């Protein structure tokens, strides 16, 4: 089972998260402010839940601070459902968001889905060559040459899904469901923001134009034979 760090300025919410996720056998530590989150906790956690609206260092600022310390999936808990707020949270390095008030079953399912992707692996090295890019499927890394790109878990998962189906066009809803596997309405804005971040990181690594092509009115595809 996993180590989960929950950060929310409401003690009652922290207690609820601890009780709920403990049902699945997880060990949960909670903090009521960003100031309590240090490098040790970040490296301990397999998954991190962040409230967005907190006094002092809010969840978005906290995410920016700790993203370089951990590759663990970061899920935002937010009562602010406006698209701009969601995109800001994902742009800071978050992997997903859950709107407050949330259903406990949904919370458990989303945490479980991210943990499954994080813990995936196997004994044999399995690499996929796509042009100048290499996908290390066991380590869940995308490499430009021999240098791994600093993708979040969700960004890598989108790249992997598209690269495994080169030339095939997928709608944003299809990508969300394939990558995250959740029931319910897919969050197309999350996919858009993740693709934007992927492209920026590819450009920074000298990969331009990148392999992810927009098919207007439909979605995205990984261009065949390119990387």
Over the chain, what is the mean pLDDT?
85
Domain count, the chain: 2
Backbone φ and ψ of 13, nearest 5°: -70, -40
Residue 145 sits in the same domain as residue 193:
yes
- Domain, as residue range, for 40: 3-119
* 140 pLDDT more than 80: yes
Question: What residues have CB less than 8 Å from 45, skipping those under 6 apart?
Answer: 3, 4, 5, 29, 70, 72
Please check whether residues 99 and 135 belong to one and the same domain.
no
- 54 with 87, same domain? yes
Examine the domain organization and report whether 191 and 92 are in the same domain.
Answer: no
Give the model confidence (pLDDT) of 9-61 as tens digits: 999 999 999 999 999 899 999 999 999 999 889 989 989 999 998 999 999 99
Residue 56 forms part of a structural domain: yes
Pair (88, 146) in one structural domain: no
What is the three-class DSSP state of 32?
coil
Query: For residue 227, is it within any domain?
Result: no
Q: What percent of the chain has pLDDT over 70?
A: 89
* Low-confidence winner among 40-49, 96-105, 114-123, 196-205 (lowest mean pLDDT): 114-123
Is the same domain home to 85 and 101? yes
- Phi, psi torsion values for 217, nearest 5 degrees: 85, -5
pTM score over 0.75: no
Q: Which of 94, 119, 144 is the last residue of a domain?
A: 119
**For position 84, which CATH number holds?**
3.40.50.2300
Neighbour tally for 24: CB within 10 Å: 14
For residues 115 and 7, state if they share a domain.
yes
- β-partners of residue 212 are 222
Tens digits of residue pLDDT in 72-82: 889 999 876 66
């Amino acid at each position: 089972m996993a180590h989960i760090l929950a950060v929310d300025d409401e003690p009652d919410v922290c207690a609820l998260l601890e009780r709920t996720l403990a049902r699945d056998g997880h060990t949960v530590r909670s903090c009521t402010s960003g100031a309590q989150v240090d490098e040790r906790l970040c490296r301990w956690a397999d998954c991190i839940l962040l409230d967005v609206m907190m006094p002092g260092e809010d969840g978005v600022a906290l995410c920016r601070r700790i993203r370089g310390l951990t590759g663990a999936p970061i899920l935002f808990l937010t009562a602010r459902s406006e698209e701009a707020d969601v995109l800001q949270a994902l742009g800071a390095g978050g992997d997903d968001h859950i709107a407050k008030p949330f259903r406990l079953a949904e919370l458990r399912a989303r945490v479980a889905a991210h943990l499954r992707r994080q813990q995936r692996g196997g004994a044999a090295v399995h690499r996929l060559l796509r042009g100048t890019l290499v996908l290390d499927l066991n380590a869940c890394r995308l490499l430009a040459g021999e240098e791994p790109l600093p993708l979040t878990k969700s960004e890598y998962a989108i790249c992997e899904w598209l690269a495994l189906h080169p030339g095939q066009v997928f709608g944003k809803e299809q990508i969300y469901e394939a990558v995250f596997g959740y029931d319910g309405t897919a969050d197309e804005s999350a996919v858009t923001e993740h693709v934007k971040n992927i492209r920026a990181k590819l450009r920074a690594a000298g990969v331009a134009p990148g392999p992810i092509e927009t098919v207007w009115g439909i979605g995205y595809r990984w261009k065949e034979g390119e990387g």
